[in-house]
Chain A
Amino acid sequence: SQKIEQNSEALNIQEGKTATLTCNYTNYSPAYLQWYRQDPGRGPVFLLLIRENEKEKRKERLKVTFDTTLKQSLFHITASQPADSATYLCALALGGKLIFGQGTELSVKP
């Protein structure tokens, strides 16, 4: 079955630094991969989608890369801010449904 793995340990970084989160998947390569942000007590919010033929996608301070050979996506937040503190989830589509990784909790300290 398809599996998605994210850094299970929380990531703590200093404000202004770049946060890098990893998402690895097994078995088949999806046509696209998505990243969501989830704040405590809230539902996930869609951030970015990257397709298999795209190596990199950017949105403001966010950057996502997709390496289908390594079966890995990296999610970067540059010039991080305390407001970026949240759990970040990667997800891939399988048969019209989304399969989520377990998420990585990011904490940005001032």
Chain B
Amino acid sequence: SAVISQKPSRDICQRGTSLTIQCQVDSQVTMMFWYRQQPGQSLTLIATANQGSEATYESGFVIDKFPISRPNLTFSTLTVSNMSPEDSSIYLCSVYDRTRTSTDTQYFGPGTRLTVL
């Protein structure tokens, strides 16, 4: 399985500012995803990070609010822009490698706990 790290692990931010979260994988993977987990809720997929092209966003999420980069097969960033208290959540990146499995089993990073004041 892949080893995934995220930075920062947690942060407290002021309303109106932006935060960029980094996700680093120890091996090349085909698919990387970003999820949000609001307090007491399950995981909601924000977008699929595509290497070399624009991310694919799920309904309810837009690029202006959650710009995503994926410059190579081991790294991605998610920015939470113009934050409000409603953005307080845990943000998780996950990966799976279609060359190794056909079953969409995903491996998750430890998450970034964001609090917006």
Give me the interface of A with B, judged by CB distance under 8 Å: 32, 34, 41-46, 49, 89, 93, 96-103
Chain B nearest Cβ from A57, distance in angstroms: 12
* Residue from A43, A49, A101 in contact with B103 in the complex, judged by beta carbons closer than 8 Å: A49
Known: A43-B92, A100-B42, A101-B42. A93 touches B108 (CB 8 A): no
Q: Across the interface, which residues of B come within 8 angstroms of A34, CB to CB?
A: 103-105
Contact present for B110 and A44 (CB under 8 Å): no
Residue from A42, A45, A98, A99 having most chain B Cβ neighbours under 10 A: A98
| Assembly CA distance A102 to B44 (angstroms) | 10
Contact call A46/B113, Cβ cutoff below 8 A? no
A98 to B58, CA, bound (A): 12
Task: For the complex, give the distance between the alpha carbons of A19 and B56 in Å.
Answer: 38
Nearest B residue to A6 via CB reads B42
Smallest Cβ-Cβ distance to B94: which chain A residue: A43
Rounded to whole angstroms, the CA-CA distance of A43 and B109 in the bound complex is 6
Q: Which residue of B lies closest to A103 (CB)?
A: B42
Distance from B101 Cβ to chain A, minimum over Cβ atoms (Å): 9
User: Across the interface, which residues of A come within 8 angstroms of B12, CB to CB?
Assistant: none
Known: A96-B104, A102-B41. 18 other contacts (CB 8 A): A32-B103, A34-B103, A34-B104, A34-B105, A42-B110, A43-B4, A43-B92, A43-B94, A43-B108, A46-B1, A46-B106, A49-B103, A49-B105, A89-B43, A93-B104, A98-B45, A98-B104, A100-B43
What would 15 A/B residue contacts be, using CB atoms closer than 8 Å? A34-B105, A42-B110, A43-B92, A44-B43, A44-B92, A44-B108, A46-B1, A49-B103, A49-B105, A89-B43, A93-B104, A96-B31, A98-B45, A101-B42, A102-B42
Which among A43, A96, A97, A100 is the interface contact of B111 at CB below 8 angstroms?
Answer: A43
How far is A49 from B106 in the complex, measured between Cα atoms in Å?
A: 11
Would you give the shortest CB distance from A19 to chain B, in whole angstroms?
19
